[in-house]
Amino acid sequence: MAMTLSAPPVPADWARHIPTSDPGPWARLLDAVPPRPAEIGQVVRNLGAHYRGQEADLPAATRSDVDLRWVADMLATDQRRHDGRPLDAERPVGERLQGCCLDHSLLAVAILRHHGVPARCRVGFADYFVPAWHADHVVPEWHDGARWRRFDPEVDPAWGLLPDPLDLDVEVLEHGGAGFVTAGETFRLVREGRLDPSDHGVAPGIPELAGEGFVLAELLWELAHRYGDELLLWDSWGGVPGPGEAMDPALLDVLDRAAALLAAADAGSDQAEAELHALYSSDARLHPGAEVVRHSPVTDEAVTVRLR
């Protein structure tokens, strides 16, 4: 599906769609989904299955779903498979869209923006999926009029993985972990020598997608998603190193500044938000240009994809 990316949203303008989240001709389907975490979670789990976590129940014929990057394409694929049924009509697991946490989060963000609610994806690490492991993860957050609130629509409350996946601000240390930690926060801890990143990555046993280099690069995805470039987790661009490659040390100095600004922006500084947005927009190493390289996990091929 050919779409044209617009400029990234200006800071604090997360209530409007960009082409990634825009449902296009399928907008009517989102009318019926209340913009609340509980209902959103039920819908996005019904639409999508995790291509690795539920692999045994998913057909090889639809593996390429994981490379869908536009919500409009996701909804079009779903509607072809399910004869135009509403989004809350039950989909058998084997007929759901194959994707990952990004797809659940982007669909959630699309629903919220459709209803005029400011929303954005946050990239980071979650410690509640695999024991003693911090898995790279994406969750949405929405603004309730007073502050940003995060939730995990991929996690069914009945699973018991979190005290309350509908509100990640709920204290989770009682479960022996930190819950979800953003890439920016994790970056700063690693750079300050206060965190061993050896147990952070896609999954145990995949060393090229884990450890310090992987953790540091995640900050680039966090920045991209914050400012309207909601890219696949297997895209690379600008300063993003390929799997197993080291990051340019000169870029780390820039990312140190970006991480500090991100922390200040999250704490409510409008000035830091504006400075971070300007840094992201002006440094070609931080934002994607007209193309990205997609390292799809289902084909093991590096493919150049034109975005604009």
Q: What confidence tens digit (pLDDT) does each residue in 204-245 have?
A: 998 988 999 999 999 999 999 999 899 999 999 988 876 667
Token pair of 2, please? Answer: 């050919």
Contact (Cβ atoms closer than 8 angstroms) between residue 18 and residue 288? no
pLDDT in tens, 33-45: 999 999 999 999 9
| The dihedral formed by the CA atoms of 16, 18, 23 and 28, expressed in degrees to the nearest 10 | 20
pTM value is 0.93
**Quick one: 193 exposed, middle or buried, by C-beta within 10 A (0-12, 13-18, 19+)?**
exposed
What is the pLDDT at residue 9?
55
Structure tokens that stand for 93 in this block: 């697991």
Question: How high does pLDDT run on average in the chain?
Answer: 91
